[in-house]
Chains A and B, each alone.
Chain A
């Protein structure tokens, strides 16, 4: 009995040491996905709960992508729930149709016009946050969490090739939005 209790304690301690250092990264990802603080907090909490439950089957190699994958599933389940609710969801996982909102125009081709200004952090955050879901997700995982395409593919649940093409689309959208922003403020 005491052996079991000790094992349980040891397990929780190992989980704490391994998982807690990634709290900020998890919260960042959740906030970009859920788009508000309260939902992001709920999702991160649920993620830790599930991760501790599955910790016995965790064998590595990296803790962060594993936690992010669980978090992604938590958020996805919440979106699935919302999409059955009457309010329409703009954040579901479906690829956007060919019809793009006007903000995502093809970028202007003159490179002089797009000497990228060092936007303040807040502006960049806003531009990233405005991307449609699957594109926002790859940008956050790649640019903020520095994950490899393979790790992103596992979290997003798509092949590596799809990660590559989504990232290309996402950066093209971001660049267009960036140029629009530049045009509107100069």
Chain B
């Protein structure tokens, strides 16, 4: 490591953003280079001084009340709440004209596209996190006594069991005839939210099917991935998000997803 590299990397060191290997390299260089050691000390001191200062600026009360007034309050019916919105939009239009008067539609669109790009990146992270949580939940369920809260192959017993436990009614479908035996249901938690898990067996393998309400309007394409050796199939149907996880092959899991969705679309038997 030379001084030029260290000059940049020592900031990442101060910020705790370096991996262990690079942190060691920078620390070794700083230990041998008095100039970089001085820099590190000075930047650390400056950072502490900035952290100690109060640089946040409270939003003006008028701005806060304007924004608060524009959002419906608890217990206010949406129809009535629409009025402040409209008023706000009108007032916004006049105050906004000076600020965004010349804003072309193209700019607005590209800004919106840029914002949604950020959303896409962020969401990708979230999906990875969800996949990892789903595998963890699957592993937990395989511990003795953890697989089912309600153990029955009768879909008409499993379905009502979920009533009142979730904000969705997970569709419980018996696929025994298609080679996937329904063995029960369970209440689980994914990303801190309660989710219904429907459990199937394929030969000696367990399939956990997690069901949650789908947020957002668009339905993405079905997606397969492998996390820690388990296959996960994620798809959306009928306004619900489904994650199937198992140690059966990706092909068999795909077959399960297709048969489940086909049965779901046919409606209750």
How many B residues touch A, CB cutoff 8 Å? 69
User: Is A109 within 8 A of B35, CB to CB?
Assistant: yes
How many A residues touch B, CB cutoff 8 Å? 78
Q: 1/0 per position for B68-95, CB-CB distance to A under 8 A?
A: 1011101011110100000000001001
Question: How far apart are the CA atoms of A9 and B84 in the complex, in Å?
Answer: 13
B191 nearest in chain A by CB position: A60
User: Is B78 within 8 A of A9, CB to CB?
Assistant: yes
Q: 1/0 per position for B230-263, CB-CB distance to A under 8 A?
A: 0000000000000000000000000000000000
User: Is A61 within 8 A of B47, CB to CB?
Assistant: no
A-B contact pairs, 21 of them (CB 8 A): A9-B77, A13-B74, A23-B67, A24-B56, A25-B56, A26-B59, A39-B99, A42-B100, A56-B216, A61-B126, A65-B122, A77-B107, A77-B108, A80-B107, A85-B102, A109-B35, A128-B55, A154-B121, A164-B11, A164-B12, A171-B47
Chain B positions within 8 Å of A46 at CB level: 92, 96, 100
Chain A positions within 8 Å of B77 at CB level: 5, 9
User: Is B72 within 8 A of A12, CB to CB?
Assistant: yes
Q: Does A94 contact B (CB under 8 A)?
A: no
User: Is B96 within 8 A of A142, CB to CB?
Assistant: no
User: Is B122 within 8 A of A116, CB to CB?
Assistant: no
Q: Does B103 contact A (CB under 8 A)?
A: yes
Q: How many A-B residue pairs have CB under 8 A?
A: 195
Those of A56-77 within 8 Å (CB) of chain B: 56-62, 65-66, 69-70, 73-74, 76-77
User: Is B81 within 8 A of A78, CB to CB?
Assistant: no
Q: Does A84 contact B (CB under 8 A)?
A: yes
A167 nearest in chain B by CB position: B11
A145 nearest in chain B by CB position: B56
Q: Give the Cβ gap from A172 to chain B, nearest Cβ, in Å.
A: 8
